[in-house]
C-alpha cells in the first residue's frame, strides 16, 4: 500500500515514459506517506473517450474519496 491508478485517453506512451511517470508519482507518495518504495504499486490504463463518463467519471470521480475535482462536468 498505497496503490496509484492512472487512467487516460488512448495515446502513445512508451515504456520509458510509463516508468518515469510511475517513479515521479511514487516519489511524491513516498514523501507524504513515508512509504517504502517496495510497498507502492502503480497501474496505468487507457479509457476510450466514449467510455470515460461511464468508466471513470460516474464510477470514480463521483466517489466521496475524490480529493481533486476536475475542471469539467459530464
Based on the structure, what is the number of domains in the chain? 1
Please list the pLDDT of the chain residue by residue as tens digits (74 residues): 899 999 999 999 999 999 999 999 999 999 999 998 899 999 999 999 999 999 999 999 989 999 999 999 99
What pLDDT score was predicted for residue 48?
Answer: 99
What pLDDT score was predicted for residue 37?
Answer: 85
What pLDDT score was predicted for residue 71?
Answer: 95
Q: Is 2 a catalytic residue?
A: yes
Return the residue matching grid coordinates 506517506: 33
- Residue 67 counted as domain residue: no
Rg, the chain, Cα only: 14
Q: If DSSP states are collapsed to H, E and C, what string results for 17-39? A: HHHHHHHHHHHHHHHHHCCCHHH
Q: Which of 2, 10, 64, 70 is catalytic?
A: 2
Residue 27 maps to which CATH number?
3.30.429.10
- Residue 62 counted as domain residue: no
Amino acid at each position: 500500500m498505497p496503490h496509484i491508478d492512472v487512467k487516460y485517453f488512448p495515446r502513445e506512451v512508451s515504456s520509458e515514459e510509463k516508468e518515469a511517470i510511475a517513479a515521479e508519482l511514487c516519489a511524491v507518495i513516498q514523501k507524504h506517506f513515508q512509504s517504502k518504495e517496495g510497498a507502492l504499486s502503480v497501474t496505468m490504463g487507457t479509457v476510450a473517450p466514449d467510455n470515460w463518463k461511464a468508466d471513470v467519471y460516474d464510477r470514480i470521480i463521483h466517489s466521496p474519496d475524490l480529493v481533486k475535482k476536475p475542471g469539467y462536468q459530464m
